[in-house]
Amino acid sequence: MIKYKKIFKNVIWILPVVLGLGIMIYPLVSQIYYQSKFSNDVKEFQNAKSNIPSKDVENRIELARNYNNTLDPARIGDPFTSDEKKGREAYAKMLEIKEKIGYISIPKINQEIPIKAGTEESILEECAGHMEGTSLPIGGKGTHSVITAHRGLPNKRLFTDLDKLEKGDLFHITNIKETLTYKVDQILVVEPDDFEQVLVVESKDYVTLLTCTPYGVNSHRLLVRGERYILPEDDIKKEKVDVYRTYREKIIYIFIALIILAISFTLFWKRRRKFEK
């Protein structure tokens, strides 16, 4: 009976430690899982678009241009309000490959995220969304596309580190035809109903990345705008996104913490057994 009591006491002592470790590690494991899923989605998009005949690609891009030419800036709305979360619309069908219209690569923060059409919550919980009412992300003068994503989700990074971007940083958007590069030229924090900064500017090719701010409060919108920047294809390939770099660093820290914890636990256990004897 005494033996079982000792075992029970040890389990009671160890259980909170195990639970604490689980709580600490879960977000990291979950983020790595979804980042792996994003990488697979990106590869799937790349493979699928390479199998589309060039004539079909041009026809679909032309349809997207026609759509962009019909846009009414007055209809733009905040993507994080319930009125705007209406699900995936037919407006971007011409660009879709397996429900994705492309993906965005942000080397500065090591993120590569699939893009879907729309800003429904189910989309923003999963990946980045294209804001309906803004230009489809195909480039061209007189276009301004808005790509939005959440920040601060426990299981995905998405735009969590968007505030780390600075003027001059590059990001890339890949659609069914090509990869377009944009250089950050403006960073603003605005009210949720202020859309003046995402309107089309004649002769300009802009993409704005949008997310909620401040972190955890979400009372305003962070707008990181990029202007089209011509980068040779070879240089684009050099702009590789190391999506697992952040996670590797965290894994190292956790591994070190586990070693310290294991050593501390072993020393404590030996001293306790010695004391009991």
Q: List residues with catalytic annotation.
A: 150, 212
Per residue, what are the HEC states of the chain?
CHHHHHHHHHHHHHHHHHHHHHHHHHHHHHHHHHHHHHHHHHHHHHHHHHCCCHHHHHHHHHHHHHHHHCCCHHHCCCCCCHHHCCCCCHHHHHHCECCECEEEEEHHHCEEEEEEECCCHHHHCCCEEECCCCCCCCCCCCEEEEEECCCCCCCCCCCCCHHHCCCCCEEEEECCCCEEEEEEEEEEEECCCCCHHHCCCCCCEEEEEEEEECCCCCCEEEEEEEEECCCCHHHHHHCCCCCCHHHHHHHHHHHHHHHHHHHHHHHHHHHHHHHHC
